[in-house]
Structure 1
Amino acid sequence: MTAEAPVAPTSYGRLVPVTVHFDDLDALGLLHNARYPLMVERAWAELWQEHGFRFEGDWVAAGDACNAVKELRIGYETPVTRPGVYAVHLWLERLGNTGLTYGFRFCSADGSVTYAHGARVLVRLDAGTLRPAPWSEGFRAAGRELLRPVG
């Protein structure tokens, strides 16, 4: 992945470059279905790290990076049939007090072709109790920049 992402072809979210390697393809030469959420996760990790949010082995110190997936939905539209540079378009659908819902598209590098799309619900956790905890104001400020406009 590169540090500089192209501008998304939409008015919201971010387009983050990802690379599909030969060994990401299955026996039929298609990007394996389990690789899509993995690449989306890597794109989100890169985006949040740019804002200073990262996990480095200590859940207490992780703060907002201490979260868990509550739900994942993905739909596949067009198969990826070759290695190369693609992109993941990321945005937030909802930013709550302790949870959020983000949307994503796995797409061509320029964002013009969608191969898969979906959404994932995350819950921020307290590292000691593993109960829901509020997002920090810094995280919320970064998240507001990614909110998809209503309508």
Structure 2
Amino acid sequence: MSDVSQESASEYGVLRLLAVYFDDLDSFGMLHNSRYGVLAERAWVAYWQENQVAFARDWALLDDGYNVAKELHVNFDMPITRPGGYGVHLWVERVGRSSLTYGFRVCSADGATTYARGHRIVVRLDRETLKPTTWTERTQELLLRILRPEN
């Protein structure tokens, strides 16, 4: 699915459109709780791919794309009860030396209705030592573009 402009999601971050399929729903006809994190992850990977951070054309992980999840937290506001197009609003909460906290909202395609919200913490690893390593300057600049302003 295509992008929605940043302004329609909020004054910060980006909004990505993703599909919820029939087989994403549980036996109650609601989006299974595990799928909200998957939607956020798919939106984040799409954002990184668009900015040449996550994968090269041959699907090889690029340097800053080599990172692992440290934490995932999701609060559920209301259930998604049917397949279709939905939005994921993404923003950066905090950029550390080797870590990153990004926030997300799973929402309607126009960003107006929120179904779930949360955050995810990732840590960039050195591919040989598997120890935390610093984000590149280019990625730090990219992350600051979608940094949530202080309230």
TM range (shorter): over 0.9
Structure 2 residue 114 is the aligned partner of structure 1 residue 111? no
Cα contact 2:13–2:148 (8 A) shared by 1: yes
Instruction: Give per-residue Cα distances to partners, 1:111-130, cap 9 Å, x unaligned.
Output: 11100000011111000011
Instruction: Report the alpha carbon displacement of residue 54 of structure 1 after superposing the two structures with TM.
Output: 1.9
The one-letter amino acid paired with 2:106 is: F
Instruction: Name the residue aligned to 1:138.
Output: 138
Aligned to 1:5: 4
Tell me the residue number matched to 1:42.
Answer: 42
* Mapping for residues 85-104 of structure 1, pairs under 5 Å: 85-104=85-104
**5+ residue gaps, structure 2:** none
What secondary structure, in the 3-state scheme, does the structure 2 residue paired with 1:89 have?
A: strand
The answer to which of 98-107 and 6-15 deviates more is: 6-15
* C-alpha displacement of 1:57: 5.3
Contact 2:9–2:89 (8 Å) recurs in 1: no
Q: Deviations over 1:82-136 (max 9, x none)?
A: 0111100000000111111000000000111100000011111000011000000
Q: SS of 1:34's equivalent?
A: helix
Point out where structure 1 has 5 or more consecutive residues left out of the alignment: none
| Rounded Cα–Cα distance in structure 2 between residues aligned with 1:41 and 1:10 | 19
| Cα displacement (A) at 1:58 | 4.3
CA RMSD of aligned residues (A): 1.2
TM-score w.r.t. the length of structure 2 is 0.93
| Paired residue total | 148
Q: Is the 8 A contact 2:91 2:102 kept in 1?
A: yes
- Matched residue of 1:117: which SS? strand
Q: Secondary structure at the match of 2:121?
A: strand
Change (3 A) 1:96 1:126: same
